Amino acid sequence: MFLTIKRKSIIAVICALLIVASVVVYFTAIKPAFSPKPTHVIVIDAGHGGRDGGAVGVSGTTESELNLMYAKQLASLCEEFGMRVVLTRSDMNGLYDETASNKKKSEMEKRRKIINESGGELMVSLHMNSFPLSSSSGAQVFYAKGDEQGLFLAKSVQTSICKSFKSARDYVTVGDYFVLNTSNIPAILIECGFLSNPSEETLLKNEDYCREFCYCILAGILAYFTP
């Protein structure tokens, strides 16, 4: 399902580049007209933070820490490909104003402000899922209703993820999320997997798994930008 932990990092790089190439070829034929900037600017949103830890895994892993782990890994890979990255948060602190009476509202307004004032070309929000049924598994990508570029970005990233992770959902879904609905740029939200599934939680915490997963997101982004 994913690269063996003990393999050398060079193998991961080669496989990632092959993923990029295959996804680019696939989407070239159906890509709508798009003229990206010379240097791409990507906004990466690590969900939750501070007092809001989000979902909690069966072993006690908090969603907020894994969201940040994946956001930083994706940011690093995007920068390796010459992109400029804007992170909505870069540590475990929350984005809310400590004096705000409604901290959730304060946090979401701060995210909206960062995203829409970033100068970014697209936004990727990273989350971890949870469900009462522990057998639920697989990554899924969401986009805002009516966001045509967001839909294409979602399909591009979901297709890339499915090439390496067989448990991933093979479809994208409209998501009624604040960061998607209020974004002025094409935006997607990725539920990377289920913390409520013991086996998937173990995988999600693994650094090599995280790196390969983020390579797949990057491949989908590169395919989206391909003329």
Distance between CA atoms of 24 and 29, rounded to whole angstroms? Answer: 9
- CATH number 3.90.79.10 given to 38-91+102-225: no
| H or E segment and range at residue 190 | strand 187-194
Residue 202: count other Cβ atoms within 10 Å of its Cβ. 14
Residue 117: count other Cβ atoms within 10 Å of its Cβ. 10
Average pLDDT of the chain is: 88
Q: Which residues contact 133 (CB under 8 A, 6 or more apart)?
A: 196
- The per-residue pLDDT for range 36-56, each reduced to its tens digit, is 455 899 999 999 999 999 999
- The per-residue pLDDT for range 85-133, each reduced to its tens digit, is 999 999 999 999 999 999 999 999 999 999 999 999 999 999 999 999 9
- The per-residue pLDDT for range 8-18, each reduced to its tens digit, is 444 444 455 45
Q: Which residues contact 75 (CB under 8 A, 6 or more apart)?
A: 44, 85, 87
The reported pLDDT for the residue numbered 11 is 46
pTM for the whole thing?
0.83
Q: Are strands 172-174 and 41-46 parallel, antiparallel or unpaired?
A: unpaired
For helices 198-205 and 207-225, give the axis angle rounded to 10 degrees. 80
